[in-house]
Amino acid sequence: MKSIIFIIFSLILEIEINGNFLRNLKYEQSEINLGDDENTYDYGTISTNLRNKNLTNSNSKASSIDQSVCYIETKRIIIKNAEIEKESGDSSDIETSKLYGVNAAVLVQGGEVEISYSKITTKAKGSSALCVTNMGKATLAYPTIDSTSSSSGMGLHATYGGQIYSSYGTISTTGSSSPSLSTLKGKGVINCDYCTLSTSGSGSPLIYSNGEIKVTNTTGKATNAQMVVIEGKNTAATVEKFSILECYGNGKSVDNCGIFLYQSTSGNDKEGINTFNCLNSAMKILKQSKVYDSAPMFFVTNTKANINLEKCDFNYGSNIFLNIKGTSEWGKSGSNGGQVTLNLKNQEIKGDLIVDKISTLNLVMINSTFTGAINNGKTASKLNINLDKNSKIILTKNSYYTSLTNEDKSGKNIDKKNFKFSSYDVGKWIKTSSLVLIIFLFL
């Protein structure tokens, strides 16, 4: 009798888990808009061991170049209690593998799959464990994802409107350029709940979003990269509900940081707005990192960005919370700074805000406290501050802005501590500097 009750309970639990996933898929489907992006790859000759096959209590492998273990292009494929391994067979073209999923252990191209209590491993170069593309869908419950590829072996990877929903999973990678969660061209979507993420390869953040990635109740650790990287037009990453992410924060020196928002010149996406949302979570650059004392928590370059923070904890050693500047790495010199809106709600921040002469910052505070220096170098081309009456600024160095709106007309919510806190006219400064230069050249 007890056995029968247990079996019935297990079936109800499984139906409930898969039911929630399917409801999420239906809801998210209407949100996908590829716009000008279209997957034109010809999958007609795709190499695979198993095409549109249900798997239960099985062990399946693939070892040839550009070959997937499982290829799914129809709906309602079920994989349960299975082991899937891409044991060898490197990609013949890394870019093709990243964009279209060729050589992935499991490739979902326009189809739909439900994976539960299964393990997916990959050891081949340019082989993602799971790639979903061409508006395909995958739901995972209690998966184990293990990529030991030397490079470009993403854990969960979505492109061209592909959607992945995973819960109670472990997703780890060890190779370079191998994020745990990755969306690339075509606005893929990944949602992870109660997952554990880890990466150890160079250039392998926990989250790389060129689409939309959301993690909730999730922990993660990157020992050779940033926690989060966001690139491209209308792209976003969201960290919510008591998630805890950690990293060493080391990139290519120029992009050492905890969270990196930028626009590359790779052609993966057009210019637009990057968005990072964080709610009730913790982000940390670990003390073991060689860049612990120098890496900012946030770094923004060559893009427009919105950073929205509420009730989050940030732990790092550089005392630079946000650095906005142009570099020689991305964009056209002189016009490749960042334009950032930093929204703080019920948030405490400690650390400096640095903005170079080709960048801007719009700081909006609601029931929040900021302790640090704002534009200490007086370099920002524009720096706007908007405070509600319940917010407070505590200065640690001289700070400068181009406009200030403060609901507290008394100004008592700004603790200057004998430091300067004043406005400046950028246009006037430029004219004066130009005049000095002309006089100098004339002499």
382 strand-pairing partners: 360
Cα distance between residue 290 and residue 248, in whole Å: 8
> 41-55, 175-189, 329-343, 415-429 — which is least confidently predicted?
415-429
Residue with the larger pLDDT of the pair 281 and 28 = 281
How far does CA 318 lie from the centroid of its chain?
21
Nearest by Cα to 383 from 406, 350, 360: 360
Domain spans in the chain, listed from the N-terminal domain onward:
205-442
Does the pLDDT of residue 429 top 60, yes or no?
no
Using a 10 angstrom Cβ sphere, with 0-12 exposed, 13-18 middle and 19 or more buried, the burial of residue 154 is buried
pLDDT digits (tens, 9 = 90+) for 358-406: 999 999 999 999 999 999 999 999 999 999 999 999 999 999 999 999 9
Give me Rg for the CA atoms of the chain. Answer: 24
**CB proximity list for 42: less than 8 A, separation 6 or greater:** none
Nearest by Cα to 336 from 356, 358, 354, 357: 358
Sole residue written with tokens 């120029």: 254
Across 33-42, average pLDDT: 68
pLDDT of residue 57: 97
Q: Are strands 320-324 and 235-240 parallel, antiparallel or unpaired?
A: unpaired
CA dihedral 237, 405, 397, 361 (to 10 degrees): 40
**CB proximity list for 157: less than 8 A, separation 6 or greater:** 98, 101, 104, 128, 129, 130, 131, 132, 182, 183, 184, 188
The DSSP code sequence of 385-396 is EEE-TT-EEEES
pLDDT of residue 94: 95
Strand boundaries in 194-272, DSSP class E: 196-199, 207-209, 212-216, 219-222, 228-231, 235-240, 244-247, 259-262
pLDDT digits (tens, 9 = 90+) for 310-321: 999 999 999 999
Sole residue written with tokens 């923004």: 300
In the chain, the largest separation of any two C-alpha atoms, in whole Å, equals 101
Cα distance between residue 245 and residue 259, in whole Å: 11
Give the number of other CB atoms < 10 A from CB of residue 24: 17
Amino acid of residue 253 = S
Residue with the larger pLDDT of the pair 143 and 429 = 143
pLDDT of residue 238: 96
- Cβ contact 343:298 at 8 Å: no
pLDDT digits (tens, 9 = 90+) for 85-114: 999 999 999 999 999 999 999 999 999 999
Residue with the larger pLDDT of the pair 423 and 38 = 423
Residue with the larger pLDDT of the pair 41 and 289 = 289
Cα distance between residue 35 and residue 227, in whole Å: 28
The DSSP code sequence of 79-148 is EES-EEEE-S---S-HHHHHHH-TT-SEEEES-EEEEES-EEEE-STT--SEEEETT-EEEEES-EEEE-
Give the number of other CB atoms < 10 A from CB of residue 301: 25
CB burial string 380-399: b at 16+ within 10 A, e below: bbebbbbbbeebbbebbebb
pLDDT of residue 34: 55
pLDDT digits (tens, 9 = 90+) for 194-215: 999 999 999 999 999 999 999 9
State the pLDDT confidence band at 41, using cuts at 50, 70 and 90: confident
Cα distance between residue 361 and residue 373, in whole Å: 13
Mean pLDDT across the chain: 88
CA dihedral 393, 396, 401, 405 (to 10 degrees): 10
131 strand-pairing partners: 107, 157
Q: What does the block give as tokens for 63?
A: 């070892």
Does the pLDDT of residue 350 top 50, yes or no?
yes
pLDDT digits (tens, 9 = 90+) for 250-279: 877 888 999 999 998 765 556 679 999 999
What SS3 class is residue 160?
Answer: coil
Give the number of other CB atoms < 10 A from CB of residue 129: 30
Cα distance between residue 150 and residue 100, in whole Å: 19
State the pLDDT confidence band at 331, using cuts at 50, 70 and 90: confident
